[in-house]
Amino acid sequence: MIRQTFSTRSRVRTALHVAVGIAGVAGITIQANASDVTVGAGIQAGFYSCDKSCLYSPGTGSSNGFALDSARLYINGSVTDSIKMTFNTEYTSANNLEVMDAFGSFHFSDAFNIWAGRFLPPSDRPNLYGPYYANDWTPYADGVADYYPNVAVGRDNGVAYWGDYGIAKLQIGAFDGKSLNSAVKDPAKILMAGRLTLDFWDKESGYYLNGTYYGDKNLLALGIAAQSLDSKTTWSVDGLLEKNLGSAGAFTIEADYNKDNGLTGGVPSSGWSGLGAYVFPEVVGIGKFQLLAKYSEKSIDATTTAASFKVKTTEGNFNYIIKSFNARVGLYYLTQKGSGTVTPSEIGLKLQLQM
């Protein structure tokens, strides 16, 4: 996911000039001021080894391999001082580029903003930080985080209002919902989504959130989110505590609880997760080391007691943070226990770069 940070993302004029040159050869006319357009990119890649079955990486059964988990192109531009446009793409496993974000943003004040197009609806914190701004490498493997309907890479088509009011952030929107699945909803009906975030210490500005700030902020944040469509609902409560201890490093505690009444999964479910992380204070080479552990439980309430089951997921990370979310690498271990006798596990090495 790309953040609405026009002031912080470096302008890549060379990329824009190349795009204009290619378009010229193709007979396409592009009119843009390089000072008003930012171009960026992000990749997540790595090596994985799976026992019995892969939980997060491509493949089935026991396997080893290299994967390009994600490759994104980010384009942001200014139409006027108060009107912006965002267009982002995502690489898919079929070697295709998918439209991830395509929306216009209207900024009137910190308390009054309108977004329209395709983007992330108001939902839980993990959905609003996505894989590139998550603290861990497998944030959605447990089925607890980001348990909301979508039409593309967690995104949906719709319109939303959001605003910052002191310690509070309010987000409300109307969207298509899971319009590709007629078994879940009537396509003629609209999904309503809302979220309230309270930052009791440092403020998190903007629409999107982070899974960590690696000690750059001291956070005590609490959020509640809900979505509803055609009498089906899903809601969640999440919290993030992060404290910079100076020469003693920085720690993060994150928790998430989700309750789905059939909006996404078709049957009721509930789950919770807890995460703890610690960044060592010493700079080793060009970065700092981080230790992370996460545990979650997900319960599926099927129509019969015999068909109901619970899944327990455990994850561990040993990471090397070079430049926050723009450059990091890490080892991860993931294992999952369910109602069956098979206990799959996965270990891997991940690399993330953004510019």
DSSP 180-248: T-TTTS-TTS-EEEEEEEEESSS---SS---S--TTSS-EEEEEEEEEEETTEEEEEEEEEEEEE-GGG
Name which of 59-63, 128-132, 249-253 the model is least confident about: 59-63
154 within a domain of the structure (yes/no): yes
2 within a domain of the structure (yes/no): no
* pLDDT, tens digit, 9 for 90 and up, residues 28-52: 444 555 558 999 999 999 999 998 7
Other C-beta atoms closer than 10 Å to the C-beta of 82 total 12
Q: Report the domain count for the chain.
A: 1
| Structural contact between residues 195 and 225, judged by C-beta atoms closer than 8 angstroms | yes
5 within a domain of the structure (yes/no): no
Residue type, 66: F
Beta bridge partners of 275: 254, 294
Other C-beta atoms closer than 10 Å to the C-beta of 177 total 31
Q: Go through 29-49 and write b for each residue having 16 or more CB atoms within 10 A of its CB, e for each that does not.
A: eeeeeeeebbbbbbbbebebe
Instruction: Calculate the dihedral angle through the C-alpha atoms of 53, 57, 59, 63, rounding to the nearest 10 degrees.
Output: -60
6 within a domain of the structure (yes/no): no
> Which domain range does residue 90 map to?
13-354
318 within a domain of the structure (yes/no): yes
Amino acid 13: pLDDT: 45
Amino acid 25: pLDDT: 38
Amino acid 36: pLDDT: 86
Distance CA 290, CA 281 (A): 9
4 within a domain of the structure (yes/no): no
Beta bridge partners of 71: 43
Distance CA 74, CA 87 (A): 6
For residue 193, CA distances in Å to 10, 69, 74, 196, 263 come to 32, 28, 25, 11, 12
Q: Tell me if the pTM is above 0.85.
A: yes
**Phi, psi (degrees; rounded to nearest 5) at 353:** -135, 140
For residue 15, CA distances in Å to 24, 235, 239 come to 14, 41, 39
Other C-beta atoms closer than 10 Å to the C-beta of 8 total 7
8 within a domain of the structure (yes/no): no
| Structural contact between residues 242 and 264, judged by C-beta atoms closer than 8 angstroms | no
Amino acid 341: pLDDT: 63
How far from chain centre, in Å, is Cα 122?
12
Q: What is the CATH number of the domain that holds 152?
A: 2.40.160.10
3 within a domain of the structure (yes/no): no
* pLDDT, tens digit, 9 for 90 and up, residues 53-86: 788 776 556 689 998 989 999 999 999 999 999 9
